[in-house]
Amino acid sequence: MTSTTANELSRRIANGSVKLATIGLGYVGLPLSVEFASSGVDVLGIDVDAGKVSAVRRGESYIRDVPSERISELVRAGKLAATTDFDRLSERDAIVICVPTPLSKTKDPDLSLVVQAAEEIGKRLRPAQLVVLESTTYPGTTEELIRPILEREGLEVGRDFFLAFSPERVDPGNKNWNTRNTPKIIGGTTPACRDVALALYSRAVTHVIPVSSTRTAEMVKLLENTFRSVNIALVNEVALMCDRLGVDVWEVIDAAASKPFGFMPFYPGPGLGGHCIPIDPFYLSWKLKTLNYRARFIELAGEVNSEMPYHVVSRVQDALNDRRRSVKGSRILLVGVSYKPDVDDVRESPALDLLRLLKQKGAEVSYHDPHVPELRFEGTSLRSVPLSESLPESDCVVIVTNHSSLDVAAIVEGAALVIDTRNATKNLSPTGGEGRAAGLKKIQKL
């Protein structure tokens, strides 16, 4: 049975008078805010970071996928605003939580920011409000953790207010898929919660997909990234096997990918990075431990993937040894430190592990990345060095992230030794202009 509050909120969504708040203006919250505002919704972004709030107010973007021009236009039109004041939550009809959910050092979920956001909402919750959690978490969080906080003051979910989970599917740097055209999963605590959330997201997202519960929606997100983590771990282990067998793993994968059915290519690398794949599967693993079940694939995949930076360092060490040099005292240049090509995001980047491990072995390590001019690392600040100056001085160059703007042929030409962890040199044939550059240098692949 549809409640009066559900009908009231649905009318506001339908006639465009709904007011939305997004808590967290990061990689998820800012693009989401912009899409809702672009669809005509009055959006208020809330963040504890005064710098982000000030940037939005000035119409400036700090996220590469969101042009400043879009923010500026929406701010001038009065559709997008930002604040650090949580008291303004009471004036909003819908609230979306988009805060980070990292792992602790022991691989346990850290939901402190989600809890803080829920506490702030709970203090100000009123009838006919919708609350949606987008932050990635373990199955059961919305029902077991968020719901009790919001019901403390006597309001009942599904009758007085509405609660749903909709997993974020942000892929930074993706030119084809964005917040608007990526299908959106919606799971409600009750059918009324689901229906209200579906109506809201349909204003800003092209395709919304309902599922039976918040727990199901939470599991969908974890399956997506566990699938990728496990398959990347498999191909990373195949890379280690091929290394011992003297076989080119990249050639093997390309040949296998010619099969039109039953095979999906994944590619090895120096380790996992980003805000999802290295983290999300462990939310599921942690939850299953509480149910006396060991998620063996997840744990094994995590073990294999976390060992890849050590394998790369071993390759560097062996390659230098072949040239009668030790890692200690060698000048090593990392090319690319963001976790994926053409983004400025270094969260969980394997480059950070390589930087730490090589420094521990006494190497003099520098980096070049056109997207990351400055890098905070273990309490110090490092700056990207120009290739023209650093290549001739380096004993070894490690290609960690294959940005599209990199001139790989020039890197190979100017380097004494190249460790290619991304198959970036695949187009340098043994003959021809670029091939001559490749042939003159020692290139070792992962």
Digit-coded pLDDT (tens) for 183-201: 999 999 999 999 999 999 9
Answer for the pair 135, 99: CB distance below 8 angstroms, yes or no: yes
165 and 109 in a common domain: yes
pTM for this structure?
0.91
281 and 191 in a common domain: no
Q: Indicate whether 27 belongs to any domain.
A: yes
pLDDT value of position 441: 56
Question: In the Cβ-directed half-sphere of 263, how many Cα atoms lie within 13 Å?
Answer: 13
Q: Indicate whether 26 belongs to any domain.
A: yes
The pLDDT of 415-431, averaged and rounded, is: 87
Q: CA-to-CA distance for 438 and 436, rounded, in angstroms?
A: 5
108 and 179 in a common domain: yes
Q: Is 98 a catalytic residue?
A: no
276 pLDDT higher than 90: no
Q: Indicate whether 223 belongs to any domain.
A: no
Q: Indicate whether 123 belongs to any domain.
A: yes
pLDDT value of position 4: 80
The pLDDT confidence band at residue 172, using thresholds 50, 70 and 90, is confident
390 and 242 in a common domain: yes
Angle between helices 50-58 and 68-76 (to 10 degrees): 80
pLDDT value of position 431: 46
Answer for the pair 163, 186: CB distance below 8 angstroms, yes or no: no
The pLDDT confidence band at residue 424, using thresholds 50, 70 and 90, is very high
427 and 284 in a common domain: yes
pLDDT value of position 429: 60
Q: Which two tokens stand for residue 138?
A: 């373990």
70 and 29 in a common domain: yes
* Of the residues 180, 212, 244, the one at which a domain ends: 212
Q: Indicate whether 84 belongs to any domain.
A: yes
* CA trace torsion 338, 340, 343, 349 (10° rounding): -30
437 pLDDT higher than 70: no
pLDDT value of position 140: 96
SS (H, E, C) the chain: CCCHHHHHHHHHHHHCCCEEEEECCCCCHHHHHHHHHHCCCEEEEECCCHHHHHHHHHCCCCCCCCCHHHHHHHHHCCCEEEECCHHHHHHCCEEEECCCCCECCCCCECCHHHHHHHHHHHHHCCCCCEEEECCCCCCCHHHHHHHHHHCCCCCCECCCEEEEECCCCCCCCCCCCCCCCCCEEEEECCHHHHHHHHHHHCCCCCCEEEECCHHHHHHHHHHHHHHHHHHHHHHHHHHHHHHHHCCCHHHHHHHHCCCCCCCCCCCCCCCCCCCCCCCHHHHHHHHHHCCCCCCHHHHHHHHHHHHHHHHHHHHHHHHHHHCCCCCCCCEEEEECCCCCCCCCCCCCCHHHHHHHHHHHCCCEEEEECCCCCEEEECCEEEECCCHHHHHHHCCEEEECCCCCCCCHHHHHHHCCEEEECCCCCCCCCCCCHHHHHHHHCEEEEC
Q: Indicate whether 321 belongs to any domain.
A: yes
177 and 251 in a common domain: no
Range from 10-14, 100-104, 309-313, 411-415 carrying the lowest mean pLDDT = 100-104
261 and 134 in a common domain: no
124 and 264 in a common domain: no
CATH of the domain at 36: 3.40.50.720
Beta bridge partners of 45: 22, 82
195 and 46 in a common domain: yes
193 and 81 in a common domain: yes
Q: Indicate whether 173 belongs to any domain.
A: yes
Q: CA-to-CA distance for 395 and 387, rounded, in angstroms?
A: 13
250 and 180 in a common domain: no
CB-CB neighbours of 252 under 10 Å: 16
* Residues 80-100 pLDDT 10s: 999 999 999 999 999 999 999
Q: Which of 98, 242, 276, 396 is catalytic?
A: 276
Q: Indicate whether 60 belongs to any domain.
A: yes
The pLDDT confidence band at residue 440, using thresholds 50, 70 and 90, is very low
The pLDDT of 229-238, averaged and rounded, is: 96
Q: Which two tokens stand for residue 50?
A: 């005064």
Which range of residues forms the domain containing residue 72?
4-212
What total number of domains does the chain contain? 2
